[in-house]
Structure 1
Amino acid sequence: MSRSASAGSNEVVRSLWMKCHGAATGMVEVRGMVIGTGWAGEGYATALRRSGVDVVALCGRSPEPARAVGARLGIDDVRLDWRAALDELEPDVVAITTPAGPHREMVEHAARRGAHVVCEKPLGRSGPEARRMLDAVEGAGVRHAYGGTSRYTPGLVKARDLVIEDAIGELREIEVVVHMNLPPLLPYCWVHSLEAGGGMLMNGMPHGLVQAEYVSGGKAVWAIGHTDVVVDRVPVGPPVHDFRLWTPIDPDEAAHGPWRENDADMTATAVIGIELPGGRMITALFHLAAFTATRHVGYLAVHGTKGSIQLDDAPWFSRMSYRSAASDQWTEVPFTAEENPIQSGWDHLIKDFAADINGHRTGSYPTFTDGWRANELMDQVRASRPTAAHQPA
């Protein structure tokens, strides 16, 4: 049967396979394909394998980097045409790990082929585009997961437990502040193009948003804010295939080399309204800056009537502190940090996603609905038009 058959037929086939071949373990043999060969592509491929998915192919856009990643991961089938690979291999699961520019086309094609889809954040470049992607997977009847992986970091899980235990009382507000202190002469790449899915807002706020919602138990419902490109032009250097290798250009080379226009925001500030269970509203402040540094590291803080919790080293967190409203002293709260929290985030998401595909869902995980809502909120931030206050004559 073709994978482009109806979703109902897919579920029947999957159910029969489980009955005949997976009775002992309740697990179905699942074949996966990864589109994108950067850091996230490697991370999702590793996570899929750790969850028992057979990664049958890896798809990239540049031959040498793609094949190098394939060799490092032991994936022999490395393709440069993701459409042809989808049509030929008919995988059960597709992980889309590219920048946001081609996400919609990839999601729609994978859904038409009957594949379950996990897509890295941001889901789309706008709310309407993300909505089309959500409609595509829902219409096809396939499972869908969204790369809000930082909600799994142990520090955040511990903070949520403290909130549930009423350690800080009734919630009042949340802050997420990140200063990345990036060198200004980083070479041009998709991060500098809104059309490609770049910018601090689209790539930083999804982390803070999924974390703020998780720790509060609420849902973000409105947003206002401001973004700024900061730099109009950036130097051109070697292509960037993996952000772990994104290094600045020598100042002399930059001075005499080509430059390209940057239209993506390098700072973003937003205030988000979060509706808590029961209907009460709180606000969350997000500030994301690419080039600036502060005395203190990036953090997420949760404030309540009885005290505050602060998590340092956002968005993955290495330290947590608690302050009672009745004291000026901060007390460190121990938790077990993971050695590689970024990979662990991918691992946790895919573990939950794969279990759901196999009919053994153990809890909630971020889906395209969350990705679509994030895009809608980011659209609201971009649509904000601050005006100068009238000054007395």
Structure 2
Amino acid sequence: MKSKLKVLISGTGFAGQGHADAFRAYGAEVVGIVGRTESVVKEVASKMNIPYASTDWKQALKDCQPDIVSIATPGGAHYETIIQAIEFGCHIFSDKPLTHSGESAVELYELAKRKNIKTAFASSFRYMPCILHAKELVASGAIGEPVEVECISHFNLERDIPFGWSHRKEDGGGRLNNNFTHMMSIVTSVIGEKILAIIGEVRDDMGKAPIVDGVHNFKTRRDFIPKDINDPSLKWGESNVEWSYTVMAKLESKIASKPVSVLFKHGGLNPRFHEEDHIVFYGTKGAIYIKGHYGSGPLYLWDQNKTWKELDMPENITANQPEVEGDTQRNWHYLVREFIKDINGEKVAPYQTFKEGSLYQQLIDLIRKNNNWTDVNYLQ
């Protein structure tokens, strides 16, 4: 009988707890958890029945001797944590973004590859059922040759959420790190993994945010919005990262004779009209429309009858979905399942690794340069 794989978690918030649940669901033993604040990490460890809690990552690696580490902190805290895990020979499951910069992300990818470390990069909304359905439809020729993809989303995030890592480029914040990574993963999973070209524009609509103590969990940060935002005693932090972006890309597809054009349009602070967030795959013979910013569904097909028809989910896709609540948690479960199978020597479909994580970080660096504009003043 195989011994259980031992997992050490970095991060005590929503992601850390979610990763722990996912690894346990597929037979791994969560042997420890590490966080910044001693009282918080002890509380989470107790709540989740994790036997070891610490604020010292390097010591935790020595004490727990894990087979796998799960990185569930903001991207700015990943680099040293992952470097040390690689030195210990651990396989690594990392949430997105991989790091705060393309240069450091490439370094981690190359180091893990040299050390023969297995890695997983959790831009995991590609495992949404409707996205998997779209992938099957496109591959079967249901829309002919794919020619264009459109991804539109508006999140209407509160402008007064407390200042934190999401406001800082150096900490892994920004909408490219925390939205675009998922969107690019979704589109490449359906169209093809080869990204040929990219151009983009970013905008910081936030400016500043109130500094508030006590925020430990990203998912509950809204609970800490000051009741009086005009209180003169409030302190403020300045955002240095994008809250909206527009990106265009060209992808290679095995079933298309020309590069496929992709538009990613995201407004982190802008309100959506009704439920208009969507993903659309256009082809020479039809189109696929999926409601929701991450493809939550339902899915509609425009076919030779020139009408939109809602399609039922194929049984093979439904049967292969982890039986857990919540899209984010279900997608973590899906990727963790594949990762563990791979580590155990079982055959699995390709999944995203530090290769994609480092590529996406380099793309984000390029987009953030905002140097794609052509000055046309001389024409007027």
Question: Fold-level match, TM-score > 0.5?
Answer: yes
Contact 1:30 1:53 in 2 (8 A): yes
Contact 1:58 1:77 in 2 (8 A): yes
TM-score, scaled to structure 2: 0.92
Task: Report the counterpart of residue 259 of structure 1 in structure 2.
Answer: 236
Cα RMSD of the aligned pairs, angstroms, is: 1.8
Contact 1:316 1:341 in 2 (8 A): no
Among 317, 326, 335, which residue is 1:340 paired with? 326
**Which AA in structure 2 matches 1:319?**
P
Contact 1:130 1:372 in 2 (8 A): yes
Deviation at 1:326, TM superposition (A): 5.3
Is 2:288 the counterpart of 1:314?
Answer: no
**Secondary structure in 2 aligned to 1:283?**
strand
Among 162, 167, 175, which residue is 1:200 paired with? 175
| Matched ranges for 1:6-155 at <5 A | 22=1, 27-155=2-130
**Secondary structure in 1 aligned to 2:349?**
coil
**Secondary structure in 2 aligned to 1:252?**
coil
Among 247, 254, 274, which residue is 2:251 paired with? 274
Among 226, 251, 259, which residue is 1:250 paired with? 226
What do the CA deviations read for 1:281-300 (whole angstroms, capped 9, x no partner)? 11211112111112133211
Gaps of 5+ in 2: none
What do the CA deviations read for 1:283-334 (whole angstroms, capped 9, x no partner)? 211112111112133211111111111111221513212223652x322122
**Which AA in structure 2 matches 1:37?**
T
Among 266, 283, 297, which residue is 2:261 paired with? 283
Is 2:346 the counterpart of 1:360?
Answer: yes
Deviation at 1:270, TM superposition (A): 0.6
Task: Report the counterpart of residue 303 of structure 1 in structure 2.
Answer: 282
Deviation at 1:384, TM superposition (A): 3.6
Deviation at 1:251, TM superposition (A): 5.0
Give the whole-Å Cα distance in 1 for the aligned partners of 2:295 and 2:288. Answer: 15
Deviation at 1:217, TM superposition (A): 2.6
**Which AA in structure 2 matches 1:255?**
D
Give the whole-Å Cα distance in 2 for the aligned partners of 1:217 and 1:209. Answer: 11
Give the whole-Å Cα distance in 2 for the aligned partners of 1:169 and 1:361. Answer: 31
Identity of aligned residues (%): 29
Task: Report the counterpart of residue 14 of structure 1 in structure 2.
Answer: none
Is 2:377 the counterpart of 1:390?
Answer: yes
**Secondary structure in 2 aligned to 1:58?**
strand
Deviation at 1:76, TM superposition (A): 2.8
**Which AA in structure 2 matches 1:260?**
G
Contact 1:222 1:380 in 2 (8 A): no
Deviation at 1:391, TM superposition (A): 5.1
**Which AA in structure 2 matches 1:273?**
K
Contact 1:226 1:381 in 2 (8 A): yes
Contact 1:60 1:79 in 2 (8 A): yes
Deviation at 1:254, TM superposition (A): 4.6
Gaps of 5+ in 1: 1-21
What do the CA deviations read for 1:205-254 (whole angstroms, capped 9, x no partner)? 11001100001134223211011111221111234322221216235245
Deviation at 1:377, TM superposition (A): 1.4
Contact 2:155 2:272 in 1 (8 A): no
Give the whole-Å Cα distance in 2 for the aligned partners of 1:232 and 1:89. Answer: 42
Give the whole-Å Cα distance in 1 for the aligned partners of 2:330 and 2:125. Answer: 9
Give the whole-Å Cα distance in 2 for the aligned partners of 1:134 and 1:227. Answer: 26
